[in-house]
Amino acid sequence: MDSKVPEHESSLTGAPFRVGIGYDIHRLASGRRLVLGGIEIPFDQGLLGHSDGDSLAHAITDALLGAAGLGDIGAHFSDADPRWKDADSLGFLKAASQMLADRGWNVANIDATILAEQPKMMPHIPAMKSALSRATGLDQSQLNIKAKTNEKLDAIGRGEAIAAQAIVLIYPK
Ligand code: MG
């Protein structure tokens, strides 16, 4: 067994890597800034949330925490905690990245999908990758952000919410 595998993991499976998955959704509402992937996007509505409502940053944070067996974003940054009111969600992502580093994990890659009927996300993805790279300490080549509509179906398709999915792979330092 690879001696670099953290003991708490090697005793479980011996696998030289772990994966994590994340999902998040926030309602769109008037009078809010639209913050997604750590950047502000010009739009006439924004995501409701105790924090800035950044569903992409939240999904990635959950994927990282999940991969390391560290629970979820709510366990670490409760939406009942006044410290996180209107918080910049990149702070959650940065803290989660540090938690993994402190426990001996490297991140191989992150892949994510934004689900939004509007606005068009593609023009903003380079800026999102730059912001997410700074928060995670990863190279942009390790980050992939995709975006798609929900084909006008369900709440996302009606423009009532924006969701995101993320998956990560981590391996021992
Ligand atoms: Mg959330």
Q: Where are the domains of the chain?
A: 24-172
pLDDT at 13: 66
Quick one: pLDDT at residue 10? 46
> What's residue 8's pLDDT?
52
Block means of pLDDT (10 residues each) for the chain, length 173 residues? 48 80 98 97 96 97 97 91 89 97 97 98 98 98 98 98 98 93
**How many whole angstroms from 15 Cα to the centroid of ligand 1?**
30
Distant-in-sequence, close-in-space partners of 61: CB < 8 Å, separation ≥ 6: 22, 73, 89, 92, 93, 96
Tell me how far the alpha carbon of residue 58 lies from the centroid of ligand 1, in angstroms.
5
Distance 48 CA to ligand 1 centre (A): 9
Beta strands in 17-159 (DSSP E): 18-29, 34-36, 39-41, 46-47, 105-115, 143-148
pLDDT of residue 80: 87
Domain spanning 24-172: CATH superfamily: 2-C-methyl-D-erythritol 2,4-cyclodiphosphate synthase (3.30.1330.50)
CA 118 to CA 120: how far, in whole Å? 6
Residues having C-beta closer than 5 Å to ion ligand 1: 24, 58
Q: Do 105 and 66 contact (CB within 8 A), yes or no?
A: no
Question: The pTM is what?
Answer: 0.92
What is the number of residues in the chain? Answer: 173
